[in-house]
Structure 1
Amino acid sequence: MVLPSFRRLLRRAAWALLFAVLAALGLLLARAFEARGKPDLMPWHRIVLAQEIHADTFDARATWANVLSREQQAFDDLHAQLAAAAVEGEFRYEKDSRLGARMGERDWNRSFESTPAEPRGGVLLLHGLTDSPYSVRTLAAIYERAGFAVIAPRLPGHGTVPAGLLDVRWQDWRAVVRIAMRELRARVGADKPLHILGYSNGGALALDYALDALDDARLPAPQRIVLVSPMVGLRPFASLSRWLPLFGGFGYFEKSRWIDILPEFNPYKYNSFPTNGALQSYLLAATVRARVAGRSASGRLARLPPVLAFQSVLDSTVSSVDVVHALFDRLPANGSELVLFDINRANLLAPMFRSAAAGEIDVLHGTAPRAYRLAIVGNLGADTLEVGEKRYEAGTDAPVERAIRLAFPADVYSLSHVALPFPCDDPLYGSAPRTDEDYGIRLGTLVLRGERGALQVSAEQLQRLTCNPFFAYLEGRVADVLP
């Protein structure tokens, strides 16, 4: 017999659940209606590439040659569909666009690779979400100069059209990573070291693979993990994105499948952003965090190879706090190191920082003992733009300081998520781009001034730092861990 008081409790709980469901549905509907006010969808927001790579079409016998063959078929299909739906204009996918590689030049939207005659080792480089292999090209060059074989795969859904991310799953990315690592091992031999380097979303994939290799002897195990702005934690909104596409099947709400619908003026990165892309990164990052926590608690993380990671203290894409506390604080004492790039505290704009931004380095530094080395790159003093390194060895809280002969540009108040892998002479993203390569636009030099509300892209997005003034330091630190 159910007691009256218990029945009342059940009714209250049922009503509370109903109100919660209705509130969530109302929020989703509101966002779906809001999405209808976004710009019109273009062909590149709808194109479906039947030959794109999916995990369920590849089995354990799939080879790197299979991946490259499917990639070629996908690009052939893309070019045919764009030609059939030609749109006049000057942006990336429009007729006679000048953006991107010229005829006969390397298309950095595609996978790239290189293998010396006698490789010292091999490295797999994984690009970020909405990016292309272009984002790891300069990092790859560090390894090429050291005699390493290099493979940088184009991850499914990337490098083609933004619509490629509408139906991709993070397991599709995982499948390509496994195939590429098998190919890398075959190229360098059983006795040479393997590294895996991931930028942003690619950082989560690198960790995911390294964790798999701990439990599966059939997977070639990396001896070193290098992470740049690793996507270990994301904003909670990404979890909501799993429900927004529910309305996308109705023409009236088709735009609800998109977080952003923007002009495509970047030849090697999407500006438009599908909700499914956010969801897949959210699921991947959540999976990696849970796996790291579980293996740390059970002691099975002890065999993880050393991790070298670079992270901007201010990062609006990934959670710097999660990089520190959900990853590094759980790592074994295996020689891992985290490099944090602090804000510019000598800048004239420093008093304008929000208190949370100014104090973020203290939150990340913390007071608990660390099993890893921590390096903080920041101003040598409050009155100078010159920067130095404070290095805290594992288990100590007394830094060793040294100058690194670099300085903050006077107009830069912090690094950003998208800046770290690019030197400032990068031909596309650099603030002082070299001119031996021309992709039709110099995104790092754009300085736009005018009235607000006139641009399709937010001024804040265009002002985001796109290159790393301390890339020479990052480059040297990566070179230091090469055998």
Structure 2
Amino acid sequence: MPVMPGAEPYHHRGGRVGVLLCHGFTGSPQSLRPWAEHLAAAGLSVELPRLPGHGTTWQEMSHTRWEDWYAELDRTLANLRGHCDEVFTAGLSLGGCMALRLAEVHGTGIRGVVVVNPSIANDVPLLALAPLLGLFVSSVKGVAGDIKKEGAWELGYSRTPVKAAATLPRLWALTQSELHKVTQPVLAFHSPQDHVVKPTSLRILREKLTGGNLDVVELNDSYHVATLDNDADRIFAGSLEFINANASVPLQGD
């Protein structure tokens, strides 16, 4: 299946500290590409994979599920850890959820986590009916492109495949149930004006991460896809500062 121009994965072999970036549901690496390039320019090793079923057609995505997306991230993480002394995970929206899930599973193998408007809760009650709905409707209106900045755009699907969406509640429930395992430092960027993810996800993070390891930064001039919005530079600079502060080895190679 041909990949949409701009949706290609991004790889940069840099220094001994690595970052795995996770894009969001129905999105593509395009939404995080400027962030990835900023971190790479600072000397980090960066991996930004294209998740299965993304960046092609929503019809192809309908044949994938969250386990497929997570497996791709887990495989990429293993490769990154193969040539880095320390690794951080980061993600936007559902990518933020999977970045946290990786931290739950791998423990001390993840040095820290950065999330931007993470989606870790079901904001759409009707999603519980998705398995049944999928028997009659193959897709619904998409969620891509929630950006405040004039002229900015996100490369994502205009339709959301119902069968793929029906697998999300399991991921959310699993991630929520094991958030107590996240003892690494976590930096969360949050847009109060988010038309995709409701405040419930951030509230859950604050309730579950009670060990003093959560820092929240408000993005008052951006919508959901803040990595392409007016506050993007704050995310780029803030995440780099966070990584630098929490890494025990130099960001750039010797």
**What's the TM-score bracket when you normalise by the shorter of the two chains?**
0.7 to 0.9
Give, as a single letter, the amino acid of the residue that structure 1 aligns with 2:139.
Answer: W
Partner SS, residue 157 of structure 1: coil
Which ranges in structure 1 are unaligned for 5 or more consecutive residues? 1-73, 79-99, 102-107, 215-219, 248-255, 343-413, 423-466
1:278 Cα shift? 2.5
Q: Please, which of 97, 103, 112 is the counterpart of residue 204 of structure 1?
A: 97
1:114 aligns with 2:12: yes
Q: Which has the higher contact order (CA 8 A, sep 6+)?
A: 2
1:131 Cα shift? 0.7
1:143 Cα shift? 1.5
Partner SS, residue 310 of structure 1: strand
Cα distance in structure 2, aligned partners of 1:154 and 1:316? 24
Cα distance in structure 2, aligned partners of 1:224 and 1:267? 27
CA deviations 1:420-479 (Å, max 9, x no partner) are 101xxxxxxxxxxxxxxxxxxxxxxxxxxxxxxxxxxxxxxxxxxxx2x22222222112
CA deviations 1:163-218 (Å, max 9, x no partner) are 12212110001111111011001122xxx22110111111111111111113xxxx
Alpha-carbon contact 2:92-2:115 (below 8 Å) kept: yes
Matches within 5 A, 1:323-472: 323-324=202-203, 326-342=204-220, 415-418=222-225, 420-422=226-228, 467=229, 469-472=230-233
Partner SS, residue 318 of structure 1: coil
Partner SS, residue 135 of structure 2: helix
1:261 Cα shift? 8.0
1:129 Cα shift? 0.9
Partner SS, residue 19 of structure 2: strand
| Aligned-residue CA RMSD (Å) | 2.2
Structure number with larger C-alpha Rg: 1
Alpha-carbon contact 1:241-1:278 (below 8 Å) kept: yes
Partner SS, residue 246 of structure 1: coil
1:416 Cα shift? 1.4
What corresponds to 1:242 in structure 2?
Answer: 131
Q: Closer, same or farther in 2 for the Cα pair 1:334/1:184, shift >3 Å? A: farther
Alpha-carbon contact 1:200-1:228 (below 8 Å) kept: yes
Partner SS, residue 18 of structure 2: strand
Cα distance in structure 2, aligned partners of 1:470 and 1:177? 26
Alpha-carbon contact 2:16-2:83 (below 8 Å) kept: no
Alpha-carbon contact 1:195-1:222 (below 8 Å) kept: yes
Alpha-carbon contact 1:305-1:334 (below 8 Å) kept: no
Partner SS, residue 82 of structure 2: helix
1:340 Cα shift? 2.2
Give, as a single letter, the amino acid of the residue that structure 2 aligns with 1:229.
Answer: N
Alpha-carbon contact 1:129-1:277 (below 8 Å) kept: no
Cα distance in structure 1, aligned partners of 2:194 and 2:128? 19
Q: Please, which of 273, 280, 293 is the counterpart of residue 167 of structure 2?
A: 280
CA deviations 1:332-354 (Å, max 9, x no partner) are 42432011234xxxxxxxxxxxx
Cα distance in structure 2, aligned partners of 1:226 and 1:338? 10
1:175 aligns with 2:175: no
Alpha-carbon contact 1:235-1:318 (below 8 Å) kept: no
Number of matched pairs: 234
Q: Please, which of 237, 241, 253 is the counterpart of residue 476 of structure 1?
A: 237
Give, as a single letter, the amino acid of the residue that structure 2 aligns with 1:198.
Answer: G
Give, as a single letter, the amino acid of the residue that structure 2 aligns with 1:471.
Answer: A
Partner SS, residue 34 of structure 2: helix
Which ranges in structure 2 are unaligned for 5 or more consecutive residues? 144-152, 245-254
What percentage of aligned pairs have identical amino acids? 27
Cα distance in structure 2, aligned partners of 1:267 and 1:307? 25
Q: Closer, same or farther in 2 for the Cα pair 1:267/1:211, shift >3 Å? A: closer
Deviates more, 1:201-210 or 1:271-280: 271-280
Alpha-carbon contact 2:13-2:46 (below 8 Å) kept: yes
1:156 Cα shift? 0.7
Runs of 4+ in 1 over 3 A off after TM superposition: none
